[in-house]
Amino acid sequence: MVLGKIGFDMAKKIKVGVIGTGMIANHAHLPGYFSIPDEVEVVWLCDKKADRLAENATKWGVSKTTENYHDLLNDPEIDAVSVATPNLEHMQMTVDALKAGKHVLCEKPLSMNADQSKAMCRAAKESGKVLQVGLQYRFCGPGMFMKDYIANGHMGDIYYGRAQAMRRRGVPGWGVFTNKEKQGGGPLIDIGVHILDFTLHLMGYPKPVAATGKTWDMLGKNPKITNFMGDYDRSTFTVEDMAVGMIRFEDGQMVLLESSFMANIEQEFFKTTLMGTKSGAEVCPGFSEDPIVIFSERDKQVFNERPVNIPDVKSSHVKEVQEFVRTIREGGESLVPGEHGLILNAIFDAVYKSSETGQEERIDLSY
For the chain, domain boundaries: 14-136+318-336, 138-313+346-362
pTM of the prediction?
0.95
Predicted pLDDT of residue 1: 38
Phi, psi (deg, nearest 5) at residue 210:
-165, 160
Phi, psi (deg, nearest 5) at residue 23:
-60, -45
Dihedral of alpha carbons 286, 87, 21, 125, sign:
positive
Question: Is 6 in a helix, a strand, or coil?
Answer: coil
Residues 6+ apart with CB under 8 A from 321: 28, 29, 31, 32, 33, 35, 82, 105
Predicted pLDDT of residue 7: 53
Q: Annotate 126-136 with b (16+ C-beta within 10 A) or e (fewer).
A: ebebbbbbbbb
Predicted pLDDT of residue 331: 93
* Average pLDDT value over all residues in the chain: 96
- Nearest Cα neighbor of 81 from 124, 31, 52, 42 is 42
CATH for the 14-136+318-336 domain, from 1.10.8.60, 3.30.1480.10, 3.40.50.720, 3.40.50.261:
3.40.50.720
Q: Alpha-carbon distance 363 to 246, whole Å?
A: 12
Q: Alpha-carbon distance 214 to 259, whole Å?
A: 11
- pLDDT, tens digit, 9 for 90 and up, residues 208-225: 999 999 999 999 999 999
Dihedral of alpha carbons 29, 135, 278, 166, sign:
positive
Dihedral of alpha carbons 139, 141, 142, 146, sign:
positive
Is 273 within 8 Å of 255 (Cβ atoms)? no
Is 337 within 8 Å of 131 (Cβ atoms)? yes
Helix axis angle, 192-202 to 338-357, nearest 10°: 120
In what helix (H) or strand (E) does residue 121 lie, and over which residues does it extend?
helix 114-127
Average pLDDT over residues 316-340: 96
pLDDT tier, 109 (very low <50, low <70, confident <90, very high otherwise): very high
Q: Alpha-carbon distance 269 to 272, whole Å?
A: 10
DSSP string, 288-317: -SS-EEEEEEETTEEEEE--S-----S-HH
pLDDT tier, 2 (very low <50, low <70, confident <90, very high otherwise): very low
**ω into 109 cis (within 30 of 0):** yes
What is the CATH code for 138-313+346-362?
Answer: 3.30.360.10
Average pLDDT over residues 312-334: 96
Predicted pLDDT of residue 226: 97
**What burial class does residue 327 get, using C-beta atoms within 10 Å of its C-beta: 0-12 exposed, 13-18 middle, 19+ buried?**
buried
Average pLDDT over residues 59-65: 97
Predicted pLDDT of residue 287: 81
Average pLDDT over residues 276-292: 94
Give whole-number Cα distances, 250 to 195, 207, 254, 366, in Å: 20, 6, 9, 15
- Nearest Cα neighbor of 219 from 178, 184, 179, 261 is 261
Is 64 within 8 Å of 72 (Cβ atoms)? yes
Question: Is 43 in a helix, a strand, or coil?
Answer: strand
Average pLDDT over residues 327-346: 96
Length of the chain (residues) = 367
In this predicted model, which residue has the larger pLDDT, 142 or 10?
A: 142
Residues 6+ apart with CB under 8 A from 283: 142, 143, 146, 198, 202, 271, 272, 273, 274, 291, 292
β partners of residue 215 = 243
Predicted pLDDT of residue 11: 73
